[in-house]
């Protein structure tokens, strides 16, 4: 059966652990796995802007022995010039895997149904599972190892309805973490995702909580994350975002509610003075560049793991 990584809970807790262990091994030994030797090609498609994701998948596919074929969505016009189904059928005959950043999750699901090769979510409107895996790896490294994830509290403040909020809920619950989302009432995460994360957490010893008070969300947390107030494709204006999310800005006072050694995460691009204060993202608790580097290691692990099992 072809395996895909479309959303965080496509990996069981045991599988997520395997992928994170593999990521640690690949971080220590960059060229230990060569599943794409040939070189076999991986199609890396972007319907939205990118820097980190294009970088980390291009470098990662090359390090796995493969050839990264980056496709600008403006050229391919998937779903406009040609259906997702036909695109999947064409790609699947020539590449070892498909990596896609696109809009609605349903486009990715259609790709996965028709490609015949593993498909990886490189961000959709609903989920950003590669980023969440990189964040788990980063938290674990700073907490003393993968075993330390279970039972720790991860607080996310900001837009609770965006892809990062959803991925933190699912990935954190899978890892046995206590995930708190602090967000305005009008930006609650998708109820289906919260329910699914709660079900996963019930089996791992974790928990999920949605709060509308930033200080309560961050209180006693071991890791504090935020994200842009206006995601790619979101029409919320700057003034509206400031009014809505201003109380959830991650500044030094809010961070002061967390554990003294809490790490600060941001998937970037970051907007200093908006969702995060410069003194926080540029301060001693920030691990954002470890996080950005870890995208490379976890994505290599995901590709290797999916190819082995498909
Ligand atoms: N929530 C952000 C993540 C960027 C990596 C967005 O979708 O734009």
pLDDT of residue 122: 98
Kindly state the helix (H) or strand (E) to which residue 153 belongs, with its residue range: strand 153-157
- Tell me whether strands 207-211 and 263-266 are parallel, antiparallel or unpaired: unpaired
Q: Does the Cβ of 102 fall within 6 Å of ligand 1?
A: no
Cα distance between residue 281 and residue 223, in whole Å? 13
pLDDT of residue 308: 98
pLDDT of residue 89: 98
Q: What is the CA radius of gyration of the chain?
A: 18
Q: 26 C-alpha to center of ligand 1: Å?
A: 26
Mean pLDDT (the chain, rounded)? 98
Nearest CA to ligand 1 atom 1: 231
pTM for this predicted structure: 0.98
**Mean pLDDT confidence for 277-306:** 98
Cα distance between residue 2 and residue 308, in whole Å? 10
Q: 17 C-alpha to center of ligand 1: Å?
A: 25
pLDDT of residue 103: 98
Q: Does the Cβ of 291 fall within 6 Å of ligand 1?
A: no
Cis peptide before 39 (omega within 30 of 0): yes
Q: What SS3 string covers 159-197?
A: CCCCHHHHHHHHHHHHCCCEEEEECCHHHCCCHHHHHHH
Cα distance between residue 149 and residue 24, in whole Å? 14
pLDDT of residue 117: 98
DSSP H stretches of helix in the chain: 13-28, 52-63, 73-76, 84-92, 105-115, 129-143, 163-174, 191-204, 214-218, 238-245, 252-255, 278-281, 288-309
Which sequence positions are flagged as catalytic?
101, 128, 131, 227, 267, 295
Chain-centre distance for alpha carbon 266: 11
In the chain, the percentage of residues whose pLDDT exceeds 90 is: 100
**Mean pLDDT confidence for 291-296:** 98
pLDDT in tens, 215-243: 999 999 999 999 999 999 999 999 999 99
Q: Does the Cβ of 163 fall within 6 Å of ligand 1?
A: yes
Q: Does the Cβ of 132 fall within 6 Å of ligand 1?
A: no
pLDDT in tens, 89-109: 999 999 999 999 999 999 999
DSSP string, 247-258: GG-B-HHHHTTS
Buried b (16+ CB within 10 A) or exposed e, 83-105: ebeebbeebbeebbbbbbbbbeb
Q: Which atom of ligand 1 is nearest to the CA of 52?
A: 5
Cα distance between residue 188 and residue 212, in whole Å? 9
In the chain, the percentage of residues whose pLDDT exceeds 70 is: 100
DSSP label of 272 = B
pLDDT in tens, 3-59: 999 999 999 999 999 999 999 999 999 999 999 999 999 999 999 999 999 999 999
């Amino acid at each position: 059966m072809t395996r895909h990584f479309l959303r965080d809970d496509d990996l069981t807790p045991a599988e997520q652990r395997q992928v994170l262990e593999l990521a640690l091994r690949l971080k220590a030994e960059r060229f230990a796995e060569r599943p794409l030797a040939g070189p076999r090609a991986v199609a890396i498609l972007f319907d939205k802007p990118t820097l980190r994701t294009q970088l980390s998948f291009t470098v990662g596919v090359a390090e796995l022995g493969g050839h990264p074929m980056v496709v600008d969505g403006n050229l391919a016009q998937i779903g406009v010039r040609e259906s997702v189904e036909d695109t999947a059928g064409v790609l699947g005959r020539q590449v070892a895997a498909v990596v896609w950043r696109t809009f609605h999750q349903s486009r990715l699901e259609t790709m996965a149904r028709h490609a015949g090769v593993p498909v990886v979510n490189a961000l959709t409107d609903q989920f950003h599972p590669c980023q969440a895996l990189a964040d788990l790896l980063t938290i674990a490294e700073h907490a003393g190892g993968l075993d330390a994830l279970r039972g720790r509290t991860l607080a996310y403040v900001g837009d609770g309805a965006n892809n990062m909020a959803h991925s933190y809920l699912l990935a954190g619950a899978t890892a046995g973490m206590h995930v708190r989302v602090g967000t305005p009432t009008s930006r609650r995460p998708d109820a289906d995702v919260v329910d699914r994360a709660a079900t996963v957490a019930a089996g791992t010893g974790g928990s999920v909580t949605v709060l509308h008070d930033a200080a309560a969300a961050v209180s006693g947390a071991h890791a504090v994350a935020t994200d842009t107030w206006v995601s790619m494709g979101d029409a919320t204006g700057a003034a509206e975002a400031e009014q809505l999310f201003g109380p959830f800005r991650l500044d030094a006072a809010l961070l002061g509610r967390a554990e003294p050694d809490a790490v600060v995460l941001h998937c970037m691009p970051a907007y200093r003075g908006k969702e995060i204060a410069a003194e926080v993202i540029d301060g001693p608790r920030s691990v954002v560049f470890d996080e950005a580097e870890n995208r490379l290691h976890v994505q290599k692990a995901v590709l290797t793991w999916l190819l082995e099992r498909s």
